[in-house]
C-alpha cells in the first residue's frame, strides 16, 4: 500500500516510481546491481594478485600486495592495525560479494526465508562497504608523505584495481533493492497501527 | 500537509505507523521491531548552521596546511592533501588522484556548502525551490564523502611509519580530526530524513 523512500524517508503510494518529496527513484535495479557486483568481482582478482604499494629505499625496492602488507604488520606486532586492514581490505570485500549475490538471488527467487537476517545483511554492507577504501587511502597518504629520490612510496596497479572494485561494489549496493523482497513476502500489507 | 506526511514507515520491518508529535530529543520507536522511526533533534537548524560553518573553516585549514610531517634520516616530508593529489596526477595516477580529489575535496566542499546554504535559507524562512535542490544534493553527496575513511587511513599510515622516523602532527591534522567529528555528527548521526522534515517547517 505504501512505500518508503530510502533517500529521504518520505511515505509514498506503492504505485509511484519517484518519491513525491525528493523526486528520486523509489525503485532499485537488481540487474544493474548484479552487473556491478560481477564487474567488482572481476577487478578483485587482479587487486589481490598485483602489488598495491612499492617502497623504494636508497637502491632497494620492495613491492607489497594487500595480503603481504597484513602479514608484515602482524609480524611487526601491530596486531590491532593488521586486524583493521584485514577486516577492511579482505574480509569486508569478500563478505560483501557473498551477501550481494545472496540477496540478489533471494530477490530473484522470491525466497522469503530469513527475511530479518537479509535486512540486517543489507544494512551491514550498506554501512561497511566503502570502508574497503581504507587501504587505497593508506597508499595515497604514504605516497604523498614520502616521495624523495632516496626514499619513496608509490602506488602500484593493485591499488587502482582495488579502487575500481570498491567503486563497483558501492554502486552495486546503491542499486540493490531489498524492499522488493519485503513486498513479495507480504510484509508491506501488515499494518498494525 | 499531505495525508501521506502523517504516515511513517519503519525502515526495518516496513510497517506503516501514524506519526505523532514528540517533544525535543524524544524518540519514536516501531512497536513491531523496536527500530527507531524518527527523532526530534533539539535546535537542529541552528546546529546545522553552526556546525557547517565550523566545518567550512576546518575544511580549508585541513586542505591548506600540512596534515603530518615526517623526518626519516634527513628527509623531511609533509602531507598536504592538495599537493598529494597533484603529486599523484603528475606521476600518472590520474584516476587515483581524480577519485581522491572528488571524494576528499570537491564533494565534502559541496556538501558542507549545501548544508550551510540550506540552514541559512531555513533560518531566515526564505521559501525557495533552491532549498529542495540543496537537500537532494546533500542526500546524494553524503554517500560519496569519504573524509572519515581518509582520516582513519592517516592514523593507520602513522602506525605503519612511526618507527622509521620522527613524526610531526600539523595544524591540518587537528583540523581534519575536528572535521571528521563534525562530518560524522552531521551526516551519519543525524538521520537524513530529519533534514527533509526541516523543509516543511
The pLDDT-based confidence of A191 (bands split at 50, 70, 90) is: very low
For residue range B71-130, what is the model confidence (pLDDT) as tens digits?
877 778 888 999 999 999 998 899 999 999 999 999 999 999 999 999 999 998 887 788
Question: How many Å lie between the alpha carbon of A63 and the closest alpha carbon of chain B?
Answer: 15
Q: How far is CA B68 from CA A74, A191, B154, B174, in A?
A: 24, 55, 9, 10
Residues 6+ positions from B75 with CB-CB distance below 8 Å: A146, A148, A150, A151, B165
CA-wise closest residue to B146 among B103, B83, B85: B103
Range with the largest mean pLDDT of A10-14, A30-34, B164-168: A30-34
Beta bridge partners of B9: B16
Q: What is the pLDDT of residue A189?
A: 41
Residue B103 C-alpha cell reads as 571524494
**CB contact (8 A) between residue A143 and residue B16:** no
Is residue A165 within 8 A of residue A93, CB to CB? The reply is yes
Quote ipTM for the complex: 0.88
Domain limits of chain B?
A: 1-40, 43-200
Q: What is the pLDDT of residue B201?
A: 59
Q: What is the pLDDT of residue A193?
A: 35
Q: How far apart are CA A169 and CA A125, in angstroms?
A: 10
> For residue B142, what is the nearest residue in chain A, using CA coordinates?
A7
Q: A137 phi and psi, to 5 degrees?
A: -70, -30
Q: Calculate the average pLDDT of chain A.
A: 84
Question: How many Å lie between the alpha carbon of B150 and the closest alpha carbon of chain A?
Answer: 6
CA A110 to chain centre: 24
Using a CB-CB distance cutoff of 8 angstroms, which residues of chain B are in contact with residue A136? 96
Q: Mean per-residue pLDDT for B148-153?
A: 93
**CB contact (8 A) between residue B88 and residue A192:** no
CA-wise closest residue to A22 among B138, B45, B52, B127: B138
For residue range B35-71, what is the model confidence (pLDDT) as tens digits?
788 888 888 899 999 999 999 999 999 999 999 988 8
Q: Calculate the average pLDDT of chain B.
A: 88
Using a CB-CB distance cutoff of 8 angstroms, which residues of chain A are in contact with residue B132? 22
- Nearest CB to A148: which of B9, B15, B77? B77
Q: How far apart are CA B2 and CA B17, in angstroms?
A: 15
CA-wise closest residue to A85 among B104, B130, B155, B147: B155
Q: How far apart are CA A149 and CA A130, in angstroms?
A: 34
> In the 8-state DSSP scheme, what is residue B87?
H
> For residue A155, what is the nearest residue in chain B, using CA coordinates?
B93
> For residue B16, what is the nearest residue in chain A, using CA coordinates?
A191
Amino acid at each position: 500500500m505504501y512505500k518508503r523512500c530510502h533517500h529521504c524517508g518520505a511515505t509514498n503510494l506503492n504505485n509511484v516510481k519517484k518519491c513525491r518529496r525528493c523526486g528520486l527513484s523509489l525503485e532499485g535495479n537488481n540487474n544493474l546491481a548484479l552487473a556491478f557486483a560481477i564487474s567488482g568481482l572481476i577487478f578483485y582478482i587482479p587487486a589481490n594478485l598485483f602489488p598495491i604499494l612499492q617502497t623504494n629505499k636508497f637502491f632497494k625496492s620492495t613491492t607489497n600486495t594487500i595480503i603481504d602488507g597484513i602479514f608484515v604488520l602482524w609480524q611487526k606486532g601491530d596486531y590491532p592495525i593488521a586486524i583493521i586492514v584485514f577486516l577492511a581490505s579482505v574480509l569486508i570485500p569478500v563478505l560483501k560479494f557473498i551477501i550481494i549475490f545472496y540477496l540478489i538471488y533471494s530477490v530473484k527467487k522470491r525466497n522469503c526465508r530469513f527475511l530479518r537476517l537479509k535486512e540486517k545483511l543489507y544494512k551491514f554492507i550498506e554501512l561497511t562497504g566503502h570502508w574497503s577504501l581504507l587501504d587505497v587511502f593508506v597508499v595515497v597518504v604514504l605516497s604523498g608523505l614520502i616521495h624523495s629520490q632516496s626514499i619513496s612510496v608509490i602506488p602500484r596497479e593493485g591499488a587502482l584495481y582495488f579502487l575500481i572494485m570498491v567503486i563497483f561494489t558501492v554502486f552495486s549496493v546503491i542499486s540493490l533493492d531489498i524492499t522488493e523482497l519485503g513486498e513479495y513476502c507480504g510484509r508491506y500489507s501488515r499494518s498494525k497501527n | 500537509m499531505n495525508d501521506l506526511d502523517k504516515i511513517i514507515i519503519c525502515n526495518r520491518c516496513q510497517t506503516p505507523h501514524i506519526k505523532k508529535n514528540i517533544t525535543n530529543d524524544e524518540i519514536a520507536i516501531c512497536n513491531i521491531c523496536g527500530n527507531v522511526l524518527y527523532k526530534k533533534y533539539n535546535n537542529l537548524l541552528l546546529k546545522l548552521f553552526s556546525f557547517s560553518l565550523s566545518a567550512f573553516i576546518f575544511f580549508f585549514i585541513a586542505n591548506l596546511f600540512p596534515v603530518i610531517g615526517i623526518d626519516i634520516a634527513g628527509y623531511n616530508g609533509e602531507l598536504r592533501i592538495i599537493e598529494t593529489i597533484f603529486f599523484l596526477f603528475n606521476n600518472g595516477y590520474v584516476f587515483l588522484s581524480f577519485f581522491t580529489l572528488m571524494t576528499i575535496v570537491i564533494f565534502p566542499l559541496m556538501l558542507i556548502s549545501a548544508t550551510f546554504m540550506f540552514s541559512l535559507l531555513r533560518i531566515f524562512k526564505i521559501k525557495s525551490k533552491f532549498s529542495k535542490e540543496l537537500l537532494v544534493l546533500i542526500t546524494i553527496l553524503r554517500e560519496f564523502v569519504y573524509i572519515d575513511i581518509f582520516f582513519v587511513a592517516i592514523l593507520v599510515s602513522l602506525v605503519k611509519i612511526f618507527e622509521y622516523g620522527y613524526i610531526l602532527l600539523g595544524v591540518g591534522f587537528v583540523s581534519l580530526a575536528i572535521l571528521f567529528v563534525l562530518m560524522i555528527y552531521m551526516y551519519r548521526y543525524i538521520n537524513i530524513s530529519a533534514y527533509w522534515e526541516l523543509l516543511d517547517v
